[in-house]
Structure formats: structure tokens, C-alpha cells
Amino acid sequence: MDVSLGIWLTLSGVLAFLLVLDFFTVSRKPHDAMFKESLAWSTFYIAVSIAFGIWIWTTAGAQYGNEFFAAYLVEKSLSIDNLFVFALIFANFGIPSAYHQRALLVGVVLALVFRGAFIAVGAVALDKFAFTFVLFGALLIYTGIKLLRHWDEDDEPGDNSFVLLVRKFIPVSDKLEGNKLFTRQNGKRMATPMLLVMVAVASTDLLFALDSIPATFGVTEEPFLVFSANAFALLGLRALYFLLKGLLDKIVYLSIGLAVILMFIGVKLVLIYAHERSESIPKISTNTSLIVIASVLVIAGIASYIKVRKDSTAPVNPEKTTEP
């Protein structure tokens, strides 16, 4: 796919405009995001992403259009898994929901920078060293197996290495002062819990990128499509968080679905390398990838709905609820 410097600059300008729009219209003033507001913004970002995909389809062809939508679907589904961790971070540090938006927006900006660097390195590695496909594939298969084994366990946000590093070198106040990152107590400059939250959000997304970037390269080898799919998925992350916040604990089988997707893409990456060595070994097409990814997400969603509904209608055991 031939992408000129002008197209890269145009994409960067569009992303910058959307970030500024998000900051000045939503995140500048702390407030609790209502369902209608979150739905409107989430719909807007999805519509922008679809419009971009249609533009790719019409200007570069159906193959690249399919690759973008497959990559976007992978990133969007993985970003939902990120939201579980973000919710735990906010709860762990006792951050009121009115201040979640600023932390998420800063996390999005930092994630775009980190992922842009990762994508650049990954693209060069794939171009120069074909065996990188196997390394990426092995990483995804390993991550998928690990996620499958611990799908119902939560990490402790306070154990984040970056957060512990900040605590080691910077004194931290126990008092939250809105969106302020630093404060003064008794004449001493100290960090606020909000700084730790932003460090935790950004570093968590950095770690997630180690899985999501190889996963995206598994459905398209075009750096432009990998970056744009990541960017558009991230831009809608803040709105999606508030839209799904009340539903996160009900999508109980999402982690299992994502584990299957990661392992599937890992196998696909290994097959790409094997196909380059011997054409008798088949590759998994983009259309097949799109169908498999979408099907796994639908099945995980339906299974989660059935599980939650079954648990909510299950009879209560009197022996477990009766006071001694």
C-alpha cells in the first residue's frame, strides 16, 4: 500500500483535531458522563472509523479495506479488555468518576505516542527479519494461553512497577485535588493520587500494546493501517469506558474470547512465515480472520448474557443467607 507523506500528515491532523475536540468539549470540565452523552460520543467515533475504512476501501481497494476493518475490530475488542483494568485502577486509588475522563484522555495521548513507536519498530522488524512473524505469533499464543488460564483473575493496580517507581522517588499526598498532578503540603511539593492514576493508565496501556500491536500486524502488514486502526480504536476508548462501565462485570467471558482471538492470530502469523518458506502451506485470509474474530466476539457476548441471566434468576440457598 503506497501511502504518501501528505496522507500521513492528514491523518495526524485529523487525530490531533479529534483529541483537541475531545478535550475542550468533554474532558476540560470534570463531570460524570451520562449514558446518552457516552453513547453519542461512542457512536461518533465508530462512525468516523467506519468512514475512514470506507475511504480506504474506495481508494486502495477491498483487500486493504477488509484489513483495516479486521485490524480495527481486533483493537476495539482488546481495548474493551483494557477497560476492566482501568476500572480497577480508578477504584484502587479512590478516584471519583467525575475525574476519570481527564485520566483516560491523557492515557489515550500517551498510548498513541507509545504505539506509534512500537508500530514503527515492528514494521521494520517484519520487513528486515521475516522470522519476526514467528516471534510475534509465539508471543500471542503464549499470551492467549496465559489469559485463558487466568481469565477470571484481576491484577492489583497498586503493584504496577511504574507506580511503585514514582512512589520511590516522589512523595505522594493522600489527598486528591481534582485534576491536579502536584500539590504543596507544609511547603513541600508532592504528587497527588491523580498522577499515580495517569502513570498506571499509561503504563498499563503500554503493556497491552505488547500484545495488541503484534495482533494487529497479524491481520495486516501495512503500518499505515496498523496505526490508523489503533488510533481510531483508542480515540473512542474514553466514551466506550463510560458507556460500558456498568456492563463490564457482565461481560464475563470476554477474556476467554480474547484469548481465543490472540491464539488464532498467533497461529496465523506463524503460517505467514511458513507460507513464505513453502507455498504448499496455506495462509489464513483476511476475510477468514474477520469472520473468526467477529464470530468469537459474538459467541463470547451471547455466552456472557446467558451466564449473567442464569445467575440472576438462580434460586437463593436459604442456608447461605440465613443469619446464624
Backbone angles phi, psi at 225, to 5 degrees: -70, -35
Residue found under cell 467506519: 50
Report, as an integer, the average pLDDT of 255-272.
86
> What's the confidence (pLDDT) of residue 249?
62
pLDDT in tens, 186-201: 778 888 888 888 888 8
289, 265 in Cβ contact below 8 A? yes
Signed CA dihedral, 174, 177, 181, 182: sign only:
negative
79, 234 in Cβ contact below 8 A? yes
pLDDT over threshold 50, residue 324: no
Average pLDDT, the chain: 80
pLDDT over threshold 80, residue 323: no
Lowest mean pLDDT among 75-84, 151-160, 226-235: 151-160
pLDDT in tens, 29-84: 666 667 777 788 889 999 999 999 999 999 999 999 999 998 998 888 877 767 77
Q: Give the 3-state secondary structure of residue 189.
A: strand
Q: Please report, for residues 84, 164, 178, 304, the alpha-carbon distance to residue 174 in angstroms, rounded to integers and kept in the order given.
A: 24, 15, 13, 38
> What's the confidence (pLDDT) of residue 56?
94
Query: Which residues, listed in sequence order, are joined to residue 183 by a DSSP beta bridge?
Result: 190
> What's the confidence (pLDDT) of residue 157?
53
> What's the confidence (pLDDT) of residue 111?
78
Backbone angles phi, psi at 191, to 5 degrees: -80, 150
Cα 91–140–250 angle (5° rounding)?
35
> What's the confidence (pLDDT) of residue 224?
93
> What's the confidence (pLDDT) of residue 322?
45
> What's the confidence (pLDDT) of residue 47?
94
51, 206 in Cβ contact below 8 A? no
* Cα–Cα dist 242/239, whole Å: 5
pLDDT over threshold 90, residue 171: no
pLDDT over threshold 50, residue 320: no
Q: Give the 3-state secondary structure of residue 218.
A: coil
Signed CA dihedral, 174, 177, 178, 183: sign only:
negative
> What's the confidence (pLDDT) of residue 59?
92
Put residue 278 in one of left, alpha, beta given phi > 0 → left and psi -120 to 50 → alpha. beta
Give the largest Cα separation in the chain, rounded.
Answer: 73
Alpha-helix residue ranges (DSSP H) falling in the chain: 5-22, 35-60, 62-92, 100-128, 132-149, 161-169, 193-217, 223-235, 237-244, 254-277, 286-313, 318-321
Highest mean pLDDT among 127-141, 146-160, 215-229: 215-229
